[in-house]
């Protein structure tokens, strides 16, 4: 059974930083590209960042380029999202999934709420 367990997000001030982690199970994470998504109230879920299975390639949404960094530890079956220079518009529920251009699994975890105050 595929499962994603996102770490607790939190409330941070504008300009602050936060690091999210996602522990994946039920599949061999090392064989899959992984990605982070987010969904803000009233908006569709959007891809934020993705990383290839070996970690050599990454891609980011234009809105987070230069501020967010995705990484992975295949030995721990965990994917990370380092978020710096946070803005109020980064406020959303963040999710992880497999895939590089789109979500590979239909299953989604509970996600984690990130709130950035101005």
pLDDT digits (tens, 9 = 90+) for 21-76: 999 999 999 999 999 999 999 999 999 999 999 999 999 999 999 999 999 999 99
In which residue are the tokens 């789109």 written? 102
Q: What pLDDT, on the 0 to 100 scale, is given for residue 110?
A: 94
Q: What pLDDT, on the 0 to 100 scale, is given for residue 52?
A: 98
Taking the C-alpha atoms of residue 109 and residue 73, their distance in angstroms, rounded to an integer, is 19
Q: What pLDDT, on the 0 to 100 scale, is given for residue 47?
A: 97
């Amino acid at each position: 059974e595929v499962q994603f367990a996102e770490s607790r997000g939190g409330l941070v001030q504008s300009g602050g930083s936060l690091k999210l982690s996602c522990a994946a199970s039920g599949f061999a994470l090392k064989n899959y590209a992984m990605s982070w998504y987010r969904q803000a109230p009233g908006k569709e879920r959007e891809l934020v960042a993705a990383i290839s299975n070996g970690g050599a390639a990454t891609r980011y949404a234009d809105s987070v380029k230069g501020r967010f960094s995705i990484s992975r530890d295949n030995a721990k079956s965990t994917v990370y999202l380092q978020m710096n220079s946070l803005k109020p518009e980064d406020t959303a529920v963040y999710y992880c999934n497999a895939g590089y251009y789109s979500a590979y699994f239909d299953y989604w975890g509970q996600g984690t709420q990130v709130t950035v105050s101005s």
